[in-house]
Each structure stands twice: as structure tokens, then as C-alpha cells.
Amino acid sequence: MFVAIAVEGPTDHAAIEKILSTRSLCVDPERVYQCGGKARLDEKLTSYNAAAHRSPWLVLRDADSDGQNHAVRVRAAILPMEIEAPALCFRLAVRALEAWLLADCEAFAAFFSVSVAAVPRDPEGLIDPKTALVGLCRKSRKSGIRRAMVPPPGGIRKVGTEYTTRISEYCRGPWRPDVAAES
């Protein structure tokens, strides 16, 4: 079965592809909407919900610090459950998708060549999972990972120039959503 998706960006797309594949579902390549951030995704959510009256949709958004750990309230404010279409699955990543990626600590450590002991055991408790992920990559045993994932000193970027590519590779490769969910 094909599922239309709406996400903030390309790393979310890669993660959703992997999650759906674990359930024998596929992303509909004709209906992938990378919104360029949560504000744009929120603006279009009503349209996605309307479309879900005709076909299945999965919408993923980071909760970030919107609700100071009250994802249920954030979700209710964005799209109350009583108006959610039956074929819409709207999910919030607490706080961010990066927490889900860190939650498979063995796969993360192996892929990014870091110590498994250094990977946080409660990634959803991190205030900024993306910064924590990049910080781990700063300690990678592979210089290629450090160059790809860590921003150059003195710059304004929070991530390295190949962050999206490497995270997408990790999502499509060794990341195990079911192991992450257990964590």
C-alpha cells in the first residue's frame, strides 16, 4: 500500500520511508511533501487532513520546544483528534527526529563510529537532540564523519555540510525504528 507523506524536510522523509517499510508500506513517490520546516507544514495540515479522507497520509512534525514537553497539547492545538481524518496519521517527534535516530544506540554508534557508551540512553529527554547528535559525531573515529556532520568553527550553521546526506543514509540503512521505539 502507498502512503502520502508530509514532513519538515529530507531527513524526515528518509526516516518515514524506513518506518513505513517495517510495516510493508511504501511512500507514494508522487505525493511526498517536504515543507521546509514546521511552520509551513502547520499551514498545510488542514489540506493534508482533507486529502486523508480519500487516501492514507502520514504527517511527521518535530515537537521541538513548542510545548515544553507537552506534545499532547501541541498536537491538539495543531490538529484536534476529533477532526482528524480516519486515514491520517499525524505524529510528533518528541523533541525532534534526531532523538528517534539516537534511540537505536548500537546502530548509531556503528554507523557514525562513536562509542556506544557515549550515546544518550534517554534521547527524548535531551533539550536539543540535533546538537547532541552533532556533538557525538564530533568525537567520531572517522575524519570523514567529522567533516560531514560537524559545522566548521566560527560559522553560523548548526550542522555540517553533508548532514542531510549522512542522516538520510543512516535512516535508509542500519537504523532500526522498532529498536528505537523500544528504547
Give per-residue pLDDT as tens, 145-182.
999 999 999 889 999 999 999 999 999 999 999 999 99
Of 54 and 155, more confident: 54
Could you give the C-alpha distances from 43 to 38, 49, 70, 85, in angstroms and in order? 9, 11, 21, 17
Q: Among 176, 142, 183, which residue's Cα sits nearest to residue 22?
A: 176
Q: Write out pLDDT tens, residues 101-133.
A: 999 999 999 999 999 999 999 998 998 999 999
Predicted confidence at residue 167, as pLDDT, reads: 98
pLDDT of 144 strictly over 80: yes
10 Å CB burial of residue 155 (0-12, 13-18, 19+) is exposed
Do the Cβ atoms of 87 and 94 come closer than 8 Å? Answer: no
Which pTM was predicted?
0.90
Kindly state the percentage of the chain with pLDDT values over 70: 97
Residue 113's region, left for phi above 0, alpha for psi from -120 to 50, else beta, is left
pLDDT at 78: 87
